[in-house]
Amino acid sequence: MLNILSNSFLLTMQELKVNKLRTALSLIGISFGIFCIIGVLATVNSLEMNIQNEIKSLGTNTVYIDKWDYSGGPDYPWWKYVNRPSPRYEEVDFIKARSGLAKNIAFNINNNGNIEFDNSVLQSVIVYGVTESQNEIQPISIQYGRYMSASEFTAGSNVVIMGYENAENLFGDPERAIGKEVTINKRKAKVIGVIKKTGQNFVGWDYDKCVMMSYRYCKQLFNEKNSNPFIMVQAKPNVTSVALKDELEGVMRSIRKLSPTTEDNFSLNDVNAFSDQVGKFFSSVNVGGWAIGLLSLIVGAFGIANIMFVTVRERTGMIGLKKAIGAKRRSIMFEFLLEAAIICIMGGLFGLLLVWILTLVLTNVFNFPVFISVGILSLAISICIFIGILSGIIPASIAAKMDPVVAIRR
């Protein structure tokens, strides 16, 4: 077996040296096909993983109670939601008392404000006003300093936590922000922590460019009704978000005192549902990548088959000699199938090289981390071997069935 493998590899290298242009043109189809399939899979999988991680940062098994429905879309009926009442802080206590499936409940408001320090000003910075349970639902990593204490939440103390980029822009070195006093909407606040840098977000909270403070202090700076209030409810362990959502519908209708015939005047947005929708979308994108790649692979397969037909014809005399001295049909067939597979693998490796270059460009130039997983690499090699065997099976069969006497005469 090893002897056949080494001979096939040497003959393949010889074929490349003797017929460089013919072999190179045939390999282009395989290379481009692998590049399309693996490139799309790697890029889409990386994008999906980044977005899914950002969705998870919204809170696992969490439902957002809001006046707005987060589904969006071109037919989004904004007129239906705009006149709904916004969630109120008082409703949190009612939900705690009436819900048996909720583990953590947090109230949040957010708005934009200017942050000043000495002669430096950051304009339109997003300000989050959160309650104590926020960190239970969405754990925040602190790079420097500390998080807000329970007493600071209760008292509504004028202390804030800054996003990494804001601290960097305002103080140069983010660590220097700790202990400094900044002005937010003409009110003084002390910086007690800097959030660890999280990078660019497509979905969810932009912690790098935010300022976070307690809800009680935030409502002193901004009008609560105009600050996009919403409630976050996280389910208990082993309770699905679907079950929690069903329960919350009844609880909220009870709190809002809606009659059985009255439509809900609130929306329950399930984080897990967003994750499922993202997965379905990227599955469709992957299908498109496979379709493009398979067309290229089919073209490449015909090119490899052409090489193998010509190779069988050129080695007819050699095949006759091998069979005359006792070579079996299966060894002849295996030799040509192996050669076709090796040619395809070489094309696939070149395609993977192109994909690797693509990942470097996207990661470094566009600041979008792309990776090629072991599973994707295994898939690429498997595709190459399959296409090689498929392309070489007919030429290999012809070679294996040759009559040694006739083949030697040719």
Give residue-wise pLDDT tens across range 265-285: 999 988 777 677 777 777 777
Q: Give the number of other CB atoms < 10 A from CB of residue 189.
A: 21
316: β partners: none
pLDDT above 70 (res 56): no
Report the domain count for the chain.
Answer: 2
Please report whether residue 79 resides in a domain.
no
pLDDT digits (tens, 9 = 90+) for 21-44: 767 776 777 787 778 778 777 877
Domain termination residue (choose one: 201, 232, 265): 265
Question: 314: domain range?
Answer: 2-54+276-409
How much is the pLDDT for 283? 76
> What's the token pair of residue 183?
């002005």
Please report whether residue 67 resides in a domain.
no
What is the C-alpha to C-alpha distance for residues 394 and 315, in angstroms, rounded to an integer? Answer: 15
3-state class (DSSP) for residue 40: helix
What is the C-alpha to C-alpha distance for residues 129 and 134, in angstroms, rounded to an integer? Answer: 10
How much is the pLDDT for 165? 92
Q: Do 246 and 280 fall within a single domain?
A: no
pLDDT digits (tens, 9 = 90+) for 83-105: 899 999 999 999 999 999 999 99
Task: Let me know the angle formed at the C-alpha of 293 by 303 and 336, rounded to the nearest 5 degrees.
Answer: 35
What is the C-alpha to C-alpha distance for residues 129 and 138, in angstroms, rounded to an integer? Answer: 14
| Beta strands, E only, 79-209 | 102-117, 120-130, 142-145, 159-162, 181-184, 187-195
Q: Do 244 and 106 fall within a single domain?
A: yes
How much is the pLDDT for 149? 93
Question: 315: which DSSP letter?
Answer: T
Mean pLDDT within 158-183: 93
Q: Which residues of 3-37 are buried (b: 16+ CB within 10 A; e: fewer)?
A: eeeeebeebbeebeeebeeebeebbbbbbbbbbbb
Please report whether residue 66 resides in a domain.
no
How much is the pLDDT for 389? 81
Q: Do 307 and 249 fall within a single domain?
A: no
Q: Is residue 147 within 8 Å of 194, Cβ to Cβ? A: no
pLDDT above 90 (res 249): yes
C-alpha 72, offset from chain centre: 20
338: β partners: none
Q: Is residue 161 within 8 Å of 178, Cβ to Cβ? A: no
pLDDT above 70 (res 170): yes
Question: How does residue 58 score in pLDDT terms, banded at 50, 70 and 90?
Answer: low
Please report whether residue 61 resides in a domain.
no
Q: Do 120 and 260 fall within a single domain?
A: yes
How much is the pLDDT for 251? 93
Q: Do 192 and 109 fall within a single domain?
A: yes
Domain termination residue (choose one: 212, 231, 265): 265
How much is the pLDDT for 403? 77
How much is the pLDDT for 352? 84
How much is the pLDDT for 144? 95
Most trustworthy range by pLDDT among 73-82, 131-140, 361-370, 372-381: 131-140
Looking at 187-191, 346-350, 371-375, which range is the least confident one? Answer: 371-375
- Between the alpha carbon of residue 225 and those of residues 51, 78, 132, the distances in Å are 30, 18, 20
Give pTM, 2 decimals.
0.69
Please report whether residue 154 resides in a domain.
yes
Please report whether residue 20 resides in a domain.
yes
Question: 209: which DSSP letter?
Answer: G
Q: Do 43 and 106 fall within a single domain?
A: no
pLDDT above 70 (res 7): no
Please report whether residue 71 resides in a domain.
no
Q: Of 111, 132, 108, nearest to 184 (Cα)? A: 111
Domain termination residue (choose one: 221, 239, 265): 265
Q: Do 122 and 209 fall within a single domain?
A: yes
pLDDT digits (tens, 9 = 90+) for 127-163: 999 999 999 888 889 999 999 999 999 999 999 999 9
